[in-house]
Chain A
Amino acid sequence: MHYLVDRFQPAERRLIVVAALVLVPIFFFPVLPIWAMKLWAPQYREGLTLTIYSNAIRGDLQSINTLNHYVGMKHITPEDFREFTYLPQALTLFGVAALVAALVNRRWVAILGWILFTVFSAYMFFDYARWLYDYGHNLDPRAPIKLPLFTPPLIGFKQMANFKVLSIPMPGTLLLGIAWLLGPIAIVLEMRDAKKARG
């Protein structure tokens, strides 16, 4: 139990601060996209793009919606996503939690923050999958072109009618991953140092 209430080693303490800083471009200034979807068709060789930020969805929304109405897909409207209203704040919270952990120098704060962060990220990933499923399964029966129900790719390539669709994580997600990885790295480094000190 004393492990959890212990203080950090200086090196690990710095790592926790780094983890907080790494999140800055995603939540504080949402300049880095989290996820992107690219759609190519024979007549869209340059591709159409949807880019998802922690607070917005941008790109060729209008063109994609105009095309989607042929298959009766629900229109992608930024206002539909409640996620954009809490995602930046939630990420901010995790950043602050990491900073607090480094400040108060208590290991349990960091571990608790990390666990919540993990659960939250998994939930968001599930949430994204749910949206994709919803768009592909909630088709207007009156649509001029009838497609079998589908789910756009969560990650990777998929051929959908005349469109090739690529769904990939963007730099924002990589930063999230780095921030997340810094948790276990800190623990591993600490355990190694502790072992050295014992030995």
Chain B
Amino acid sequence: MKPKLVLVFAGLAALALASQLPGCAGVRGGGAGSAAEKVYVKPGEHDAYYAFLSGGHSGQVYVYGIPSCRHITTIPVFTPEPAVGYGVDEQTKAMLGGFTWGDAHHPGMSETNGDYDGRWLFINDMPNARIARIDLKDFKTKEIFGPIPNLSAAHACPFPTPNTEYVFAASRFSVPVPNREVKIEDYAKEFRGVVAGVKVDPKTGHMSMGFEILMPPFDWDLADAGKGPSHGWEFFTCYNSEEAHDSLEIKASQAEMDYIAAVDWRAAQKAVDDGKAKTVGGVPMLDPQQVPGLVYLFPVPKSPHGVDVDPSGQYVCASGKLQAEVTVYNFAKIQSAIAAKRFDGDQLGIPVLKFEDVMEAKVPVGLGPLHTQFDGKGYAYTSLFLDSQIAKWKIGPPWNVVDKIDVYYSIGHLMASEGDTRHPTGEYVVALDKLSKDRYLDVGPTKPEAAQLIDIRGPKMELLYDFPTYLEPHYAQMIRAEKLKPIDVYPLAENANPAAVKRAEDARVERKGTRVDVYMVAVRSHFTPDVVHVNQGDDVYFHVTNVEQDNDIAHGFGMLWSSDNMQIEPGETKTMHWKAEKAGVEPFYCSNFCSALHQEMQGYVVVGARGARVAAVQRPDPARVAEVAQLMAHR
């Protein structure tokens, strides 16, 4: 009897557990066989990777699923997106700081121990020297840091350090520091570049100024963080070490060598903490002429673009874009040259190491090398802009190219699956091309950009898929899907917005002078209140709380005859300003299809004559409130 009883209990326990399991999310795509089978993800199933593609001068971030190459969503970052009210509601409007344009280049995933941790995505706005932080719990832009003082265009940005201690930015266009009117002919004397180290709070992700370093007036281009043995260093490439201020196309392409700057960010932070910085433009600025030991330069052939540290952290790979080689540097050699003080002069106080002291290998990859990624299996992949190819080459002797594949056309960056971490997964590379020309259905002169998905699991690269993107992915990050666990709704109980109303009884309209605050509740399929009285000339603030807690039940709030619209996610409160310009009746409605009675989800603002008597507090009809309260009595 007893063993049987135990069995019965075990069975019951299993049953109880099974009943608690949520619906399973399908097998990950990317099977074996033909290219078509490898990219096919069955309806209802999910991709194996998230890819975050920068939106370039659209100012946004595109989210794709890999290997299906399906566009999943677009995250508004530096550009208003009226569909969801980004840059329209008061909070995001303030975050955009008056800008309506950004040029987003390089997404940088937050890291722990040199691997993606899936917490945040940082991305730069190059022209306005800003860095945004997207929270990957809800795929929303949470913070925009900057414009960073003294910095002129943040291109080498953000390229986080292995534990996301810092994100960086460096001037692409040197300007006078501090900026003032000077003779442009005095470029070499008056202009300066700046490298900025921006601290990231390890818990909240909040960004704050760490330090700035005054650099020679070169055009600082790309960056990468050291890892493993090179942890603690950030590397920056530059072009225009010729210091031209006009006709750069010719004048900045004359020298055989430009530079990589190696920045010891721990030493820089210590120098600031020790009070060795001057305050310039409100931030601590370190001048290498006065504070030595922070930065070293070493020569790189021919206007390099990418600088990429291999997964081991030992090799630094530079792509000289006007040269047919990737130049590989050995970090151990860099360290011993610094320790032995074997310098070949300096640039504005920054010691220059000798090329032959630090160079490890030259890899003849092909024409126009721009950027390198890694597979974690001992190989590197370099994009070749002029050849429209990707070259796969061996890291280590004999430093040779083992495979090449055509891409379409004029590839800029490339992205490998977790390919800039300590442990790349070595499954896919995506080519991010600058020209698409004839690859897709013709849409006239403004062509989309092109991207190709390439399988790198085998010894030979295999082209799997070709897909267009909107303007203009520069760089991207690809992370294994299971590392992200986004939320479905904002818990209403945790909504601490002071303007939130969680029950219809609390919905109301308050006025103080000509400011009117409407505390409104949205739930399927009505707003409370749905009739609001104001006067002409009033500044009306709609604080709308979506009290739903159901997956994907967002409500919109759009005013007719206006540009004022926003989307409120379940559990969220958002505030939108609307000016009552003229007397009359103005309808509003739910602009995000929510339910069977979505069309009925609407209301009116009755705008009376300027200065007419309106109650200081309006509450919705009690019978109506009772009805709605009953609906909402369960939380």
Q: A: which residues have CB within 8 A of B?
A: 18, 32-33, 36, 45-47, 51, 60-63, 65-66, 69-70, 75-78, 144-145, 170-171, 174-175, 178
The answer, among A36, A62, A70, for a CB contact under 8 Å with B635, is: A62
Specify which chain B residues have a CB less than 8 angstroms from the CB of A145 in the assembled complex. Answer: 596
Q: What is the CA–CA distance of A126 and B447 in the complex, to the nearest angstrom?
A: 69
Query: Are B23 and A47 in contact (CB-based, < 8 A)?
Result: yes
For the complex, what is the distance from the CA of A78 to the CA of B630, rounded to whole Å? 13
For B630, the chain A residues whose CB sits under 8 A away are 75
A27-B13 Cα distance, complex, nearest whole Å: 16
- B548 interfacial contact with A, CB 8 Å: yes
**For the complex, is B204 an interface residue (Cβ under 8 Å from A)?**
no
Binds A, one of B14-22, B230-238, B370-378, B399-407: B14-22
Closest 10 pairs (CB-CB, A-B): A46-B23, A171-B12, A63-B550, A171-B16, A61-B634, A62-B634, A69-B631, A171-B15, A62-B549, A66-B524
Tell me the nearest residue of chain B to A79, going by C-beta.
Answer: B633
Provide the residues of chain B in CB contact with A63, threshold 8 Å.
549-550
Could you tell me if A66 and B597 are in contact, using CB atoms closer than 8 angstroms?
A: no
- CA distance in complex: A84, B515 (Å): 49
Cα-based distance from A75 to B633 in the complex (angstroms): 8
B280 within 8 A of A: no
- Per DSSP, chain A at the interface is mixed
Given A32-B12, A63-B550, A65-B634, A46 and B523 touching (CB < 8 A)? no
Is B83 at the interface (CB under 8 A from chain A)?
no
Q: Enumerate 15 A-B pairs (CB-CB under 8 Å) in ascending A order.
A: A33-B16, A46-B22, A60-B550, A61-B634, A62-B550, A70-B595, A75-B631, A77-B633, A77-B634, A78-B634, A144-B600, A170-B19, A174-B12, A174-B15, A178-B8
User: Could you tell me if A175 and B12 are in contact, using CB atoms closer than 8 angstroms?
Assistant: yes
B441 proximity list for chain A (CB < 8 A): none
Residue of B nearest to A31 (CB): B16
Asked if residues B597 and A75 are in contact (CB atoms below 8 Å), the reply is: no
Q: Is B5 an interface residue (CB 8 A)?
A: yes
Q: Collect the chain A residues with CB atoms within 8 Å of residue B8's CB.
A: 178
Q: Does A70 lie within 8 Å of B16, measured CB to CB?
A: no
- A18 to B2 Cα, complex, angstroms: 10
Complex: chain B residue closest to A43, CB-CB: B552
Kindly list chain A residues whose C-beta atoms are within 8 Å of the C-beta of B631.
65-66, 69, 75
Selected contact of B5 from candidates A18, A45, A70, A171, CB within 8 Å:
A18
Q: A45-B23, A145-B596 are in contact. List 17 more A-B contacts (CB 8 A).
A: A32-B12, A46-B23, A51-B19, A62-B550, A62-B635, A66-B524, A66-B548, A66-B550, A75-B631, A77-B634, A78-B634, A144-B597, A144-B600, A171-B12, A171-B15, A171-B16, A174-B12
Interface residues of B in 577-635 (CB under 8 A from A): 595-597, 600, 630-631, 633-635
Cα–Cα, bound, A70→B601 (Å) = 13
Q: CA–CA, A175 to B23, complex, Å? A: 26
Contact B596 A70 (CB under 8 A): yes
Return the contact of A36 from the options B5, B19, B549 (Cβ within 8 A). Answer: B19
> With the chains together, A69 CA to B597 CA distance in Å?
12
B3 to chain A, nearest CB (A): 13
Write the nearest CB–CB distance from B17 to chain A, whole angstroms.
10
CA distance A32 to B16 in the complex (A): 7
Cα distance A171–B15 when bound, in Å?
Answer: 7
Measured in the bound complex, the distance between the Cα atoms of B504 and A69 in whole Å is 15
B527 CB to nearest A CB, Å: 15
Neighbouring A residues of B634 by C-beta, 8 Å: 61-62, 65, 75-78
Query: How far does the alpha carbon of A78 sit from the alpha carbon of B635 in the complex, in Å?
Result: 11
| Alpha-carbon distance between A60 and B597 when the two chains are bound, in angstroms | 21
Interface centre among B13, B549, B634, by most chain A C-beta atoms within 10 angstroms, is B634
Contacts of A70 in B (CB 8 A): 524, 595-597
Cα A32 to Cα B19 in complex, Å, equals 11
A171 to B635, CA, bound (A): 27
**Residues from chain A with Cβ under 8 Å of B15 in the complex:** 170-171, 174
Question: Smallest CB–CB gap between B490 and chain A, Å?
Answer: 14
Cα–Cα distance between A187 and B283 once the two chains are bound (Å): 88
B596 contact set on A, CB distance < 8 A: 70, 144-145
Q: Which residues of B contact A18 (CB under 8 A)?
A: 5
* B631 (CB) vs chain A CBs: closest residue: A69
Chain B neighbourhood of A36, CB < 8 A: 19
Chain A residue numbers with a CB within 8 Å of B12 are 32, 171, 174-175
Closest chain A CB from B216 CB (angstroms)? 59
Give the docked Cα–Cα distance between A18 and B23 (Å). Answer: 36
Tell me, in angstroms, the Cα distance from A77 to B631 when the chains sit together: 10
Which residues of the other chain, B, contact A62 by a CB distance below 8 angstroms?
549-550, 634-635
* A66 with B23, Cβ < 8 A, contacts A75-B631, A77-B634, A175-B12 known: no
Q: Smallest distance from the beta carbon of A62 to chain B beta carbons, Å?
A: 5
Contacts of B13 in A (CB 8 A): 171
Q: Smallest distance from the beta carbon of B620 to chain A beta carbons, Å?
A: 17
A170–B16 contact, CB under 8 A? yes
- B16 close to A66 (CB less than 8 A): no
Contacts of A46 in B (CB 8 A): 22-23
* B-chain residues with CB within 8 Å of residue A178 when the two chains form the complex: 8
Q: Closest chain A residue to B15 by CB distance? A: A171
C-alpha spacing A46/B20, complex, angstroms: 12
B529-554 vs A, CB cutoff 8 Å, 1 = contact: the mask equals 00000000000000000001110000
> Which residues of chain B are within 8 angstroms of A174 by Cβ–Cβ distance?
12, 15
Residues of A within 8 A of B600 (CB): 144
What is the bound-complex CA distance between A13 and B232, given in angstroms? 74
| Chain B residues in 8 Å Cβ range of A65 | 631, 634
Instruction: Name the B residues within 8 Å of A78 (CB-CB).
Output: 634
In whole Å, how far is B525's beta carbon from the nearest beta carbon of chain A?
8
Residue of B nearest to A14 (CB): B1
Distance from A116 Cβ to chain B, minimum over Cβ atoms (Å): 24
Nearest-CB residue, chain B, relative to A74:
B630
B576 CB, min distance to chain A CBs, angstroms: 24
Closest residue of A by beta carbon distance from B524 = A66
Q: Are B523 and A66 in contact (CB under 8 A)?
A: yes
